[in-house]
Amino acid sequence: MPDFDFTQRFLFDDTDVRGELADLRGSYAEVLAKHPYPEPVAQLLGEMLAAAALLVGTLKFDGLLVLQARSPGPVPLLMVECSSEREVRGIARYHAEQVESGAGLRELMPEGLLTLTIDPARGQRYQGIVELQGESLADCLSGYFANSEQLPTRFWLNADGRRARGLLLQQLPADRQKDAEARVGNWEHLVTLADTLTAEELLGLDNETLLRRLYHQEAVRLFEPLPLRFRCSCSRERSANALSSLGHADAEQLLRERSGLVVVDCQFCNQRYEFDATDIAQLFAGGGSEAPSATRH
């Protein structure tokens, strides 16, 4: 087992199906350390982190993948980002008094919507929206792919506050198997076997043991793991750009309202960026925002 967070791809040699496994511990712990989440919220956030890690492996682009779920229920917001550099961050907003022990997706995010955004460094931004239907986030994501006319894709996700795990199966375009009926039969066979996977097995087994237990009669090739890590993309420069977007007059008004010090807090990692009158003047004079003003006390 690698001593870092990772995803690991595998292929079935005799069929046009690929798979991927995600294992997040350190990055999951980093996300949970930023805010005190109740156990059901921490578990759901972990599942979304694993899902984003799996999804980014299906895309060939430089940029950002964002999963965002919103609901009028006990958890109004779940948001996870995973970059093509395989850097993840995530956050949840919740009403503590409404979160019941053992609650699942249906109880935490009733009438919810899930938005998948692909934001490439170059090219057109893509966004897909689906209702949060089903008993789990895995059900919802599997349904999204089933309804979006993309390659058939299924998810299995679990998290327990210490480890976030995910399994993905995806049918590939016809290559090894040309017969349509055989392709459907093999896909259903592999999915049915994956459906026997328990949360305890997914969270407790290493990848080789898990695949051997599920697919001991299949020819499976397991590739080298690819690392993941927690990293927040916030910066003083991005905070300054947000202030710049207000315009000079509004930024100075905000400075007066905040008694001479504008503070920009990152919701993901709790990093704080402070801007005083000298910083604001420098910003709009074109002097940049690399460091706080030397007048800061």
Confidence (pLDDT) at 221? 96
Per-residue pLDDT band for 258 (boundaries 50, 70, 90) equals confident
User: What is the pLDDT at residue 149?
Assistant: 66
Give the tens place of pLDDT for each residue, 143-195.
Answer: 888 887 678 999 999 999 999 999 999 999 888 888 889 899 999 999 999 99
User: CB atoms < 10 A from the CB of 224, how many?
Assistant: 8
Residue 1 binned pLDDT confidence (cut-offs 50, 70, 90): low
Over residues 108-125, the pLDDT tens digits come to: 999 999 999 999 888 888
Interior CA angle at 175 toward 57 and 165, to 5°?
25
Q: Report the candidate in 84, 90, 74 with the shortest Cα–Cα distance to residue 32.
A: 90
Q: How confident is the model at residue 291 (pLDDT cuts 50, 70, 90)?
A: low
Strands (E), the chain: 5-12, 17-24, 63-70, 77-83, 87-93, 113-120, 126-131, 153-159, 164-171, 220-222, 226-230, 261-265, 272-276
Euclidean distance between CA atoms 236 and 94, whole angstroms: 27
Rounded Cα–Cα distance for residues 284 and 191 (Å): 57
Mean pLDDT on 217-230: 95
Give the CA distances from residue 287 to residues 235, 260, 278, in Å, rounded to whole numbers and listed in that order.
17, 19, 11
**Arithmetic mean of pLDDT over the chain:** 90
